[in-house]
Amino acid sequence: MVTARELVLSRRPQERIGPDCFTLVERELPALQQGQLLVRADCFSVDPSMIPRLFVDTYAPAFELGVPVEARAVSQVVQSTADDWSEGDWAVCWGGWRDYAVLDATAATRIEPRHGLPPHTWLHVLGVPGLTAYIGLADIARMRPGDRVWVSAAAGAVGSVAAQMAKARGASLVVGSARGDGKARYLTDILGLDAAVDYGAGHLTDQLRAVAPEGIDLYFDNVGGDHLEAAIDLLRIGGRAAICGMISGYGKPPGPGPGNLTHLIVKRLRVEGFLVLDHLHRRAAFEEETLPLVEDGTLRCEVTEFDGLESAPRALLSLLDGGKLGKALVRP
Ligand SMILES: NC(=O)c1ccc[n+]([C@@H]2O[C@H](COP(=O)([O-])OP(=O)(O)OC[C@H]3O[C@@H](n4cnc5c(N)ncnc54)[C@H](OP(=O)(O)O)[C@@H]3O)[C@@H](O)[C@H]2O)c1
């Protein structure tokens, strides 16, 4: 009999997400039925899309009270009654905020960590963040070599991949924005972007104009709000924006929208939102382009690890307060 430790949502946050919204419980897991796996999480993901789901329904239902918060995990099989799974196999699954879980094998996707890539790579550049970056750039914004590109939240998971991918795909200029001088220097000195802007250090549009005086052709939006407004100012005629996320508004009442939307008409801009869930069939094309870049070190993937199941709420808050670099992961 295996006892799992689980972090459940015990009450919905009122205004603030705090550790008091979650309770650690222990639960004896049932014996495996035919076709099931007992898995142990190596690490699980915290994602911006979880933040609104603590409060309300979004494109996915609000998290249920009393059950572990849903999260993608990279897990290792401890015991299997499924034909093609064995102890020690690696999988990506909806493990949730817990250490052990019993799952139907059909709910697990096998991964084969190879060439020295750590398993958590499948929650980052080879997982949802990487695929999201690829879809936004290649399919939604239809990036062309020579484009001048701005990526917001560029020191985060999706943003860091999108910005590096834009360079690898032949952008003539890649600007990243992030919070603080340290992250801005990380973008230029470590990720090799052409320029970086610390969005807290002054007027965003003025700072962007200083590093992209001819404007931009493509904006990859992870932030929304003032960032989207600045992008609409900066985009050149015929420019394109892939609206990936709007984290500046998550968990808050709706704020005022961009005040410069007439530019969409004047500059004939194309602004398109997308959900990666609609593009999972593009996985093979994504891997064909991305895997070699990960394996040869062109695409760097920074991770901030939070130790212990109890650290999951802090990891989630780090998505809002700047307390992490790259992909935030929890090791339960
Ligand atoms: N469309 C889709 O299918 C899809 C799929 C996955 C993710 N997304 C979206 O993609 C975006 C990035 O997701 P991720 O998983 O890669 O998270 P992430 O970038 O690793 O973490 C979120 C980042 O947002 C930045 N941020 C938080 N509040 C901000 C604010 N008020 N203004 C500016 N920046 C702020 C923080 O960076 P700083 O420390 O630099 O402030 C933080 O690192 C999110 O909007 C998410 O919802 C969309």
In the prediction, which pLDDT does 223 show? 98
Q: For the segment 176-235, what is each residue's pLDDT rounded down to a tens digit?
A: 999 999 999 999 999 999 999 999 999 999 999 999 999 999 999 999 999 999 999 999
What b-and-e string marks burial along 94-126, b requiring 16 or more CB atoms within 10 Å of the CB?
Answer: ebbbbbbbbbebeebeebeeeeebebbbbbbbb
Return d(Cα 35, Cα 33) in angstroms, integer.
Answer: 6
CA of 80 to the centre of ligand 1 (A): 36
- pTM of this structure: 0.97
Q: Locate 318 and state its tokens.
A: 């780090």
Task: Cite the DSSP H helix spans in 186-282.
Answer: 204-211, 225-234, 262-266
| E-only strand ranges, 114-215 | 148-151, 173-178, 195-198
CA of 35 to the centre of ligand 1 (A): 37
Is residue 95 over pLDDT 80? Answer: yes
Q: Is the CB of 325 inside a 6 Å radius of any atom of ligand 1? A: no
Going by alpha carbons, the residue nearest to atom 24 of ligand 1 is 153
Going by alpha carbons, the residue nearest to atom 37 of ligand 1 is 153
Q: For the segment 245-265, what is each residue's pLDDT rounded down to a tens digit?
A: 999 999 888 888 899 999 999
Residue type at 282 in one-letter notation = R
Q: For the segment 39-62, what is each residue's pLDDT rounded down to a tens digit?
A: 999 999 999 999 999 999 999 999
Give residue limits of the domains in the chain. 3-120+302-331, 128-277
Architecture label for domain 128-277: 3-Layer(aba) Sandwich (3.40)
Torsion (CA) 257, 58, 23, 309 in degrees, nearest 10: -80
Nearest-atom number in ligand 1 for the CA of 327 is: 20
What CATH homologous superfamily does 3-120+302-331 map to?
Medium-chain alcohol dehydrogenases, catalytic domain (3.90.180.10)
Q: Is the CB of 290 inside a 6 Å radius of any atom of ligand 1? A: no
Is residue 311 over pLDDT 90? Answer: yes
Q: Is the CB of 45 inside a 6 Å radius of any atom of ligand 1? A: no
In the prediction, which pLDDT does 1 show? 84
Mutate to test the pocket of ligand 1, among 50, 53, 158, 164 (most ligand atoms within 8 A of CB): 158
Q: Which residue, chain included where needed, has tokens 């099931």?
A: 36
In the prediction, which pLDDT does 252 show? 86
